[in-house]
Amino acid sequence: MNTPTIWIIFPGIAAAILYLLRRWKRAINLAGVVLALLLAWLAWKLPIGETLSLGPFTRLPSINLTDTMTILGRRFILDAASRPFLIFIYLGIALWFGGAYIARTGILFVPVGLAVAALLTAALAVEPFLFAALLIEMAALACLPILSPPGKPVGRGVLRFLTFQTLGVPFILYAGLLLSGVQTTPENPSLVIRIAILMVLGFAFFTAIFPFHTWIPMIAEEANPYTAAFVFFFIPGIVSLFALEFLNRYPWLQAEPGVSTALSFLGVLMVSIGGIWAAFQRHLGRILGYAAIVEIGLSLLAISLGAGRTANPDLQNLFFALFLPRGVGLAIWALALATLQAQVKDLSFRSVQGLARRAPVAASSLLLANFSLAGFPLLASFPIDVALWTALSSQSLSVALLVLLGFIGLLFAGFRTLAVLVMGQENEDWRITETRPQLLLLGMGMGMLFLIGLLPQWFMPMMINMAQILRGGGG
């Protein structure tokens, strides 16, 4: 038995089986949550690389759990150091599956979600790691049926997403080819420039970096908000992890001042433009999309802090710390939007006027998630955003101010949303129309936003552990 079988092959097979059983919506949803939690628990508990005895069943042979699987001459490795990533992926998937039924994501969400998790895990495991580009592309392809479900017209955002993800593959594969065999700084400066251009273009396509970010607000408007947020969280999230690994494998590339400057420039551009554009949107889904763009920008900034000649590698911790508040914030925001969407024909400001009077809990969750991602004090993202902002301001005050501008834009979007949601007929009573499961999940989500914001020390060590493992400093 080997670990890739458990965390790549098994979820892949489970995805196929759940697809065949898709008639039973609730059952496959529950099965998806249980399976994802089980895989996360196994990642936490199983002794990777050691012999596993099956507890009280002494007659059964013990299993040697190896960390490598070979397919067509290439290796997929999930060793003990991969543990936090596996827990992160499968716990994250379980969190998203938890709200899927209530968010009416459709019957394909759970099977596709599991397949995406298996493919993204394979992307992190494959050696040489550059082949991950192809696996990420396959994960993106798998997302298409949930972004454009049966019976709905195909939106332009979906096609743009498909196009950009596919166009990213050649750049990454070719950059990897040029990098193979280059362990120290190449003597030919034109080679460095070529590698940098190819890398930047490849990751820009994959992670929706400006100017290839346009599919995000379009999908946020066209697709189910919960499904859209799932894609915004996992695809750019795992790709940025892949980019960070890319940089860490080639220290000379990481030390290039141009790389750090480019990352910082693109990050600031994403955060400031994303925030400002969010402030002027008139569609709740699009605001979520721009918030996702701001989050991608923050990831780039966190990576840039750990790159360059004068960089402090410990600042890479911030990149990992961003994942938890982002995941919870986007999930709650999207769940609230899906709850509101069930009551109106679309999520434009015109349609949702006064909706807070009919769905106050969903509206509150939406606003709290919005404010959390905008770095509002006491909420989940605040401690990390402050740390990031402090680190940025110590390097460049203008960068920090532009990032602050992006946060202000997102806050402004939140206040506009608040104004629209509560406006309405004076004589309209306030009443709770959300269902009990919706109230429960949204309530738990709001609690999590406060809990992470107030007690970050409970949650951050695991995320920071991922950074240490990536740098080879722990395990």
Partner 1 sequence: MALGAYAIPAVVLVAITSMILLVSQDWRVSISALVVQYVGVFVLVALDWPLEMAVSKLIAGWIAGAVLGMAAISFPKPETDEPDDESLSDRGTSLLTTFLPDPVSLSAGIFRLVAAILVGLTVFSIAPRASDWIGSIQLAQAWGGLILIGMGLLQLGFTAHPFRTILGLLTALAGFEILYAVVERSTLVAGLLAAVNLGLALVGAYLMIAPFMEETD
Does residue 77 belong to the site contacting partner 1 (CB under 8 A)? Answer: no
**Residue in 291, 297, 436 with CA at minimum distance from that of residue 367:** 291
Q: With CA atoms as reference, report the closest residue to 116 among 208, 23, 239, 288.
A: 239
Minimum CB separation from partner 1 for residue 183, in Å?
19
Min separation Cβ 161 and partner 1, Å: 11
- Among 72, 309, 345, 430, contact with partner 1 (rule: CB under 8 A): 72
Other beta carbons less than 10 A from residue 4's beta carbon: 24
Q: Report the residue number, 39 or 158, with the smaller CB distance to partner 1.
A: 158
Structure tokens at 255: 């030390």
Per-residue binding string, partner 1, 84-113, x by CB under 8 A, is: --------------------xxxxx-----
Among 55, 150, 181, 472, binds partner 1 (CB under 8 A): 150
13 binds partner 1 (CB under 8 A): no
Stretch in the footprint of partner 1 (CB under 8 A) among 72-80, 342-350, 361-369, 372-380: 72-80
Q: Does residue 12 touch partner 1 according to CB under 8 A? A: no
Q: If we measure between CA atoms, which residue out of 235, 7, 300, 246 comes closest to residue 131?
A: 246
Indicate whether 342 belongs to the interface with partner 1 (CB under 8 A): no
Question: In whole angstroms, what is the distance from residue 424 CA to residue 359 CA?
Answer: 13
* CA–CA dist 396, 59 (Å, integer): 65
189 binds partner 1 (CB under 8 A): no
**Does the protein bind partner 1 through residue 192 (CB under 8 A)?**
no
Binding mask 248-287 for partner 1 (x = CB under 8 A): ----------------------------------------
Contact flag: residue 174 with partner 1 (CB under 8 A): yes
Contact flag: residue 32 with partner 1 (CB under 8 A): no
Interacting stretch for partner 1, rule CB under 8 A, among 161-169, 351-359, 382-390, 394-402?
161-169
182 binds partner 1 (CB under 8 A): no
* 137 sits near partner 1 (criterion: CB under 8 A): yes
186 binds partner 1 (CB under 8 A): no
Nearer to partner 1 by Cβ, of 173 and 422: the residue is 173
Among 19, 44, 129, 131, binds partner 1 (CB under 8 A): 131
Asked if 86 contacts 43 with a C-beta cutoff of 8 angstroms, the reply is: yes
First to last CA, the chain: 22
Exposure pattern of 288-327 as b/e (b: 16+ CB <10 Å)? bbbbbbbbbbbbbbbbbbbbbeebebebbbbbbbbbbbbb
Q: Is 237 in the site for partner 1 (CB under 8 A)?
A: no
Subset of residues 280 to 339 that bind partner 1, contact rule: CB under 8 A: none
Beta-bridge partner residues of 70: 75
Cα–Cα distance, 234 to 89 (Å, whole number): 9
Nearer to partner 1, 169 or 271 (CB): 169
Residue 162 within binding range of partner 1, rule CB under 8 A: yes
The neighbour count for residue 165, using CB atoms within 10 Å, is 25
Stretch that binds partner 1, among 168-176, 335-343, 395-403, 461-469 (CB under 8 A): 168-176
Of positions 17, 74, 455, 473, contacts partner 1 by CB under 8 A: 74
Please identify which residue in 81, 129, 149, 401 interacts with partner 1, judged by CB under 8 A: 149
**Is 85 or 161 the residue whose CB approaches partner 1 more closely?**
161
- Pick from 331, 275, 304: nearest CA to 388: 304
Q: Which segment (171-179, 302-310, 400-408, 423-431) binds partner 1 by CB under 8 A? A: 171-179
Q: Phi/psi of residue 71, each to 5°?
A: -130, 125
Q: Does 167 contact partner 1 by CB under 8 A?
A: yes
Q: What does the binding site for partner 1 look like in residue numbers (CB under 8 A)?
A: 71-74, 104-108, 131, 134-135, 137-138, 141-142, 144-145, 148-154, 156, 158-159, 162-163, 166-167, 169-170, 173-174, 177, 194
